[in-house]
Amino acid sequence: MTTIFPNIFAKISQYVVSPLAILLFKFFGRLEVVGRENLEAVDGQVILAGGHRHELDVVGVTTALLGTRFMPMYYVSMAKNYYKHLGWHARIFYGGPLFKLLGAYPVYKGTGSLAKSLTNHDKLIEDGRTVIIYPEGRLTRDGSYDSPRAGVGYLMAKHKLPIVPFTTNGLWNLSMKDWLLRKGKITVVFGPAIYPQEVLQDPDKHIDEYRREEMQAAANLIMQRIVALGTDEVEVEVSETKTKLV
């Protein structure tokens, strides 16, 4: 299993990257942040759960929360081999030491256990850090939202923390020409916090008492809140060819 990098590494790396991210997202992307008060209204620690719209949306979220108590942030990512299809840059940079330096830690697929798959992120949450998870488990390939996996429900059930849903509108299918000409508009939207008692039938019980179906049901409800934050026409429809959220 992966050794968690010290907190200071992610903090330094995210603040070093932030000036470039601000230039890209605020100047070229005309970034707007909506609903940050929903995060600030939560006392204590949160887990963020979002729709994975683009390779760069993690940078957009970091920029949106720069200087808040939620930084540094830690992401749920895939192992290095998963990113090969995204091109040469992904094969070189994604999923390896650079990801970990920036705060992204992989899930372990094929373990047969959510606890084993998300062991890195359990440790991060137990250490009081802000974790961001993409419930679909992958980047969108056609602009639609997919049905979620049970991991986000597991994290809520185990740690008894509120989930703040978010999504990034305006990045999907944005061309480089439109980006450079500042024709697009990127909006990071945070919704109201979702508390365990809203989506778990018995939120006080121990994680070992939960059935996977219960955690999946919680993930479905959380994903519905994420989908509701989408404003681009192509984004708000869940593909008919995919499993429905409920």
pLDDT of the residue at 133: 95
Number of C-beta neighbours around residue 5 at 10 A: 16
Peptide bond into 72 cis (omega under 30): yes
In this prediction, what percent of the chain has a pLDDT beyond 90?
A: 43
Taking the C-alpha atoms of residue 58 and residue 21, their distance in angstroms, rounded to an integer, is 10
Residue 52's identity, in one-letter code, is H
Tens digit of each residue's pLDDT (9 = 90 or more) over 90-100: 555 555 566 66
How far apart are the C-alpha atoms of 90 and 242, rounded to whole Å? 26
pTM of the model: 0.83
7-236 belongs to CATH 3.40.800.20 = no
Q: What is the mean pLDDT of residues 67-86?
A: 72
Q: What is the mean pLDDT of residues 152-159?
A: 97
Q: Which of 56, 96, 95 is nearest to 78 (CA)?
A: 95
Gap between the Cα atoms of 60 and 58, Å rounded: 5
Stretch 123-140: mean pLDDT: 90
Token pair listed for 46: 């949160």
pLDDT tens by residue, 159-188: 999 999 999 998 888 888 888 889 888 899
DSSP string, 24-38: IIIIIS--EEE-HHH
pLDDT bracket for residue 240 (50, 70, 90):
very low
Domain boundaries, the chain: 7-236
